[in-house]
Amino acid sequence: MFSKTCEYAIRAMIFIAQKSKAGSRVGIKEIAKAIDAPEYFIAKILQDLSRKGFVQSLKGPTGGFYLDEEPLQCSLADIVKAIDGDRLFTGCGLGLKNCSEARPCPIHDVFKAVRDDIYNMLEDARIGEFSKHLEKSLTFLKRK
Amino acid sequence: MFSKTCEYAIRAMIFIAQKSKAGSRVGIKEIAKAIDAPEYFIAKILQDLSRKGFVQSLKGPTGGFYLDEEPLQCSLADIVKAIDGDRLFTGCGLGLKNCSEARPCPIHDVFKAVRDDIYNMLEDARIGEFSKHLEKSLTFLKRK
DNA sequence: GTAATAGAGGATAAAAATGTCCTTTATTAA
DNA sequence: TTAATAAAGGACATTTTTATCCTCTATTAC
């Protein structure tokens, strides 16, 4: 559904959000461990998210990544769009560039319905809202 | 959503289905043109689908690919499973191997709902059912 | 049987995604 | 001001996906 890059991005964002609510910044090593992702790879992804304004960062000792109010309100859909583009939300299920209402592919209508479902679910899910469950260990971010 | 391989596979199957209903076999070149896919690549994919019993083939002059009754009834879900595996239908949205009801990822519940939607839609869509619209040019299989 | 045709299958190539390393720059504590 | 720390960024390596080529085998028409 999502690229691996995007999966890591979402997991990292949720983790950083939790730490940010607790008022602290997190370093890449801690993030990599917490979400069980390759350290250098997650570093690249966060660099990208940082440039795009989804996450804040500070260099040097006591530095690290954090989110302030605005990014906490961003939705999973925003992150997916930033990383994977909007192909998932607007693209044709069969990969046809010219698929449209006027010139639909065979699965166009039925596919559009689930595509919209996916979009709505991801749009409704805000990064900031996952912290409570994580905190109580009702949900998890690790691979294994 | 699907791999490119899988998109080509579905498009090819729908095209072959249409031709089969009309009683004829189709060669790889014709298929490649009709669905605007790389000829040698689609050949590989059909080889695979053929081994797995999703499509029939015959070598030599007047040979080609065709579907008989049973494959015409197969669903898009069957094809997706055969090509991409069932990750899309059963995997975690955040790529976590150990995500489960007992140990859910943050987006587990909401993701499961759309995953099920996708599965139901693909399970309901039978390869044989797309021919009429294709025939009447109400739907299309070409990229451009 | 022979020649032509068309899929099967092995091998290889190119491109994209994923993952790693190393140097530079900004920040902090002492 | 200096040393230590941590992200930024460029370069490179590996793996997976996508795409191509070539030879072999089965089938048909003659």
CB contact under 8 A, A118 and B114: yes
State the pLDDT confidence band at A137, using cuts at 50, 70 and 90.
Answer: confident
Which of A91, A83, A82, A80 has the alpha carbon at shortest distance from A116?
A91
- Distances from the Cα of B81 to the Cα of A75, A115, B1, B87, angstroms: 30, 19, 13, 8
Q: Is B25 a residue whose pLDDT tops 90?
A: yes
pLDDT tens for each residue of A34-60? 999 999 999 999 999 999 999 999 999
Residues 28-57 of A with CB under 8 A from B: none
Min Cα distance B59 → chain A (Å) is 28
pLDDT tens for each residue of A54-67? 999 999 999 999 99
Structure letter (DSSP) for residue B138: S
Q: What is the mean pLDDT of residues B26-50?
A: 97
Structure tokens at A138: 């009702």
Nucleotides in chain C with any atom closer than 7 Å to protein CB: 4-11, 17-22, 25-29
Nucleotides in chain D with any atom closer than 7 Å to protein CB: 4-11, 17-22, 25-29
Which of A44, A85, A121, A83 has the alpha carbon at shortest distance from B93?
A121
Q: Is B143 a residue whose pLDDT tops 80?
A: no
pLDDT tens for each residue of B81-131? 999 999 999 999 999 998 999 999 999 998 999 999 999 999 999 999 998
Tell me the three state secondary structure of residue B58: strand
Beta strands in A9-60 (DSSP E): 56-58
Q: What is the mean pLDDT of residues A71-85?
A: 96
Q: Please report, rounded to a whole number, the percentage of residues in chain A having pLDDT higher than 70.
A: 99
Structure tokens at B108: 């587990």
**Residue A140 to residue B1: CA distance in whole angstroms:** 24
Structure letter (DSSP) for residue B16: H
Structure tokens at B61: 């002059």
* Lowest-pLDDT choice from A100-114, A130-144, B111-125: A130-144
CB contact under 8 A, B10 and A94: yes
Cβ partners under 8 Å of residue A133, min gap 6: A139, B106
Asked if A98 has any chain B CB less than 8 Å from its own CB, the reply is: yes
**Residue A17 to residue A19: CA distance in whole angstroms:** 5
Which of B32, B19, B31 has the alpha carbon at shortest distance from B67?
B19
**Residue A66 to residue A17: CA distance in whole angstroms:** 7
Beta strands in chain A (DSSP E): 56-58, 64-66
- Distances from the Cα of B27 to the Cα of A65, B36, B119, angstroms: 56, 14, 31
- Report chain B's mean pLDDT, rounded to a whole number: 94
State the pLDDT confidence band at B135, using cuts at 50, 70 and 90.
Answer: confident
User: What is the pLDDT, as a whole number, of residue A75?
Assistant: 97
